[in-house]
Amino acid sequence: MAIRHYRSMAAAAVGFRLVLVLFGGDLHLASRPEVSTPLTSIRRLAEGYWLKQASMSPYSGSMYHGSPLVLSVLGSLTNQRSIGHRAHIYCSLIFVAVDFIAALFIRATGNRLQMARNRNLQSLELTESVSNSVNVSAGDIVSLIYLWNPWAIVTCVGSCTSPIENLMVVMMIYGACSRLAPLAAFGYVMATHLSLYPAILIVPIILLLGFGPDTPPTKVFRIKFSSASKSDISDNDKSINLRDVQQFSWKPVFYFILWLLFWSCYVLLSSSIILNKVGSLQEMTYGFILTVKDLSPNIGVLWYFFAEVFDFFRSFFLIVFNMNIIFMVLPLAIRLKHRPCFLAFVYTAIAAMLKSYPSVGDSALYLGLLGLFANELAEMKFTFLLFFGYIGVSLLSPVMHNLWIWRGSGNANFYFATGLAYTCLQTVLVVEC
């Protein structure tokens, strides 16, 4: 149904972005706290590039905290001031392209998942449910969701570097789904290098590479076969069949680890060459992410928490909040090991919720991935609440921010309240999934 118009819809999304970038005037999206964080802001990138050009460490000055690779790629584009256009227009154009590529990857992932699902259903002899499923081209719909997501558009037009991070995550998932170890490893290394939190995605990636895309839980097969065994299949045959379904192949995983080592060596070497021994990379990027040094407001809750918390509790809460993400890795992995793609989605959502500098770009990614599981999540509860909650928060948050920062008539607490509501919504979403 949506296949026929897919191309035109995707082109329209890209065209809409281009229109906004070229003719949107100065929307000041690049300095919106919802859009750009200290990690992804393009102005900070430009400052880092300027410092580097002035033969200083780009990390001196607590301005830039991103990757040296991004700096070397985008840096030279930031200082080209074209007359008649707003600053950083070339970067915005690149981000439009990056978003489009990410959408293509999501589409391919969706198609693969769809195929795997259909195969599984067929092997479970549930052919009628295959034919019944309305959503034939999940990939198309998912990529359209990603392309037309207003937050993704805002992030792209606001030209912060989170589209690149999203692309890397999507690339990693696609690589793992189609068992392309080099691509998956590249995506993983880059995503981790850029924003650290995708590091927890190694669990779903290995599961994906080992088991292949999502399958129904082995128990279902067991039930299936145990019910079948009543008739004629012998015990030996049954175990063979089971192994067929859930065999864990070590070969792609081994390749993945080899490629992982290769890419990480590559990234570390190239960044050390770019930095030329002028800055300590780990301390300035990962340290900055983990210790929540910048207290400027964003849509999360941690900034206000660390602005208000007593100093002697600070390290304790830093540990607690960072551990909170890791705590959930193992239980979720055990619980969802038969559906690694879905596991990756849940991890992404949790990271987007609990990360130290969240932005709507992260939400755009996991909402896009959410579409991949539209079939499974059809009977989700609270969809009304969630949908309007997201709309409400994204409308109220700028208003509260404006009242607090620009008019001076509001108070930090109002803005913090929208952040709280947003976190609650994400919690509900994750839990309901």
Give the footprint of another protein on this chain (CB under 8 A): 31, 43, 46-47, 49-51, 54, 56, 60-63, 78-79, 217, 219, 222-223, 226-227, 293-297, 301-311, 321, 324, 327-328, 331-332, 335, 353-354, 404-406, 408, 411-413, 416, 420, 423-424, 427, 430-432
| Inter-CA distances, 217 with 112, 214, 222, 338, Å | 18, 9, 9, 5
- Minimum distance from CB of 253 to another protein (Å)? 25
Residue closer to another protein by CB (options 135, 229) is 229
Residue closer to another protein by CB (options 46, 274) is 46
Residue closer to another protein by CB (options 185, 430) is 430
- Minimum distance from CB of 112 to another protein (Å)? 26
- Minimum distance from CB of 404 to another protein (Å)? 7
- Minimum distance from CB of 330 to another protein (Å)? 11
Residue closer to another protein by CB (options 40, 114) is 40
- Minimum distance from CB of 430 to another protein (Å)? 6
- Minimum distance from CB of 46 to another protein (Å)? 5
- Minimum distance from CB of 159 to another protein (Å)? 15
Phi-psi region of 408 (alpha: psi -120 to 50; beta: other; left: phi over 0): left
Residue closer to another protein by CB (options 202, 424) is 424
Q: Of 392, 398, 399, nearest to 421 (Cα)?
A: 392
- Minimum distance from CB of 110 to another protein (Å)? 25
Residue closer to another protein by CB (options 15, 287) is 287
Residue closer to another protein by CB (options 30, 185) is 30
Residue closer to another protein by CB (options 61, 150) is 61
